Amino acid sequence: MKQTTEKEKTMKRWNDRKRVFGIVLAGCLLAGCFVPVIYAYKKYEDANTIGVSMDVKMAAPDLYAKSISTIEKRGITQITKRDDKKRELSLDRKGQKGSLTVKEVTPETSQLNIMLEKQKDTDKKVQEKELVDTVEAVCQEAGIACKPAEKK
């Protein structure tokens, strides 16, 4: 009878650990227990508008539909004009005009752009918060996580 060496025992334990790790990894992938991808949105502004832009790994028609659903559910903003071919919405929120556009980057990826006109009698921080709340509501409706992009 052949006696196993210490090196062979170590290799067998190592192989057993790799097998267990592989089984756990496969189980997590199947169960979907990994943290979702977090998408970062960028805020921007010019003299008359403030906006948010975000790239999302979701087909443009799906993201557009989720955006419309979010706006209709919240009921804060009115859709004044809708162009489903271009995936563009004209918005009105208590007299403040804006737009939402979903552009296809690739068949699986799209870009969400929301722009609002600045209001002179409203604090800039309040306007930004309302815009960010809208983006985060769309993210929640689409089942994705999003946060502000880190400044470089």
List pLDDT tens digits, range 30-62.
555 544 566 778 888 888 888 888 888 889 999
Q: Which residues contact 131 (CB under 8 A, 6 or more apart)?
A: 43, 50, 51, 52, 114, 116
Look at residue 151 and tell me whether its pLDDT is greater than 70. Answer: no
Residue 4 belongs to domain spanning: 1-34
Query: Are residue 28 and residue 68 in the same domain, yes or no?
Result: no
- The span from the CA of 38 to the CA of 41, in Å, is 10
Query: Are residue 61 and residue 108 in the same domain, yes or no?
Result: yes
Burial class (CB in 10 A: 0-12, 13-18, 19+), 38: exposed
Tell me which residue of 121, 70, 114, 69 sits closest to 94, measured CA to CA: 121
Look at residue 94 and tell me whether its pLDDT is greater than 90. Answer: no
Query: Are residue 77 and residue 49 in the same domain, yes or no?
Result: yes
pLDDT on residue 26: 56
pTM of the predicted protein model: 0.69
Q: How many domains does the chain have?
A: 2
Query: Are residue 76 and residue 47 in the same domain, yes or no?
Result: yes
Query: Are residue 29 and residue 53 in the same domain, yes or no?
Result: no
- The span from the CA of 70 to the CA of 68, in Å, is 5
Query: Are residue 25 and residue 49 in the same domain, yes or no?
Result: no
